[in-house]
Amino acid sequence: MSEPFSTEISDRICTHMNDDHASAVVLYAQAYGGNPEATEAQMLAIDANGMDLTARVNGSTVPVRIKFDRTLTDAEDAHHTLIEMVKQARTTAK
């Protein structure tokens, strides 16, 4: 069985999120990372237990670790979890 979150998988997910879903990454930092003032964010890595971001808050770049509510099994599980997290954050923000 291969490692569920190899460096290659993490890099692929991060690149996709940063390039195609930058607003979602900012929302993660705001809603789950305890940084509601974040204006920019970048996903650096993802693993079975959480994701590492940097966020721009009040002119400073800060590290952000967001833990998942459960251990993820693979990249597909991460995909579904990230979608659910952004949907929940958008609903809560309304």
CATH (domain of 15) = 3.20.180.10
Asked if residue 53 is part of any domain, the answer here is yes
Q: What is the pTM (predicted TM-score) of this model? A: 0.92
In the 3-class helix/strand/coil scheme, how is the chain assigned residue by residue? Answer: CCCCCCHHHHHHHHHHHHHHCHHHHHHHHHHCCCCCCCCEEEEEEECCCEEEEEEEECCEEEEEEEECCCCCCCHHHHHHHHHHHHHHHHHHHC
Q: What percent of the chain has pLDDT over 90?
A: 89
32-74 residue pLDDT tens: 999 999 999 999 999 999 999 999 999 999 999 999 999 999 9
Asked if residue 14 is part of any domain, the answer here is yes
* Domain region containing 70: 7-86
Q: What is the pLDDT of residue 2?
A: 45
β-pair partners for 50: 67
Q: What is the pLDDT of residue 5?
A: 82
Q: What is the pLDDT of residue 57?
A: 96
Q: What is the pLDDT of residue 1?
A: 36
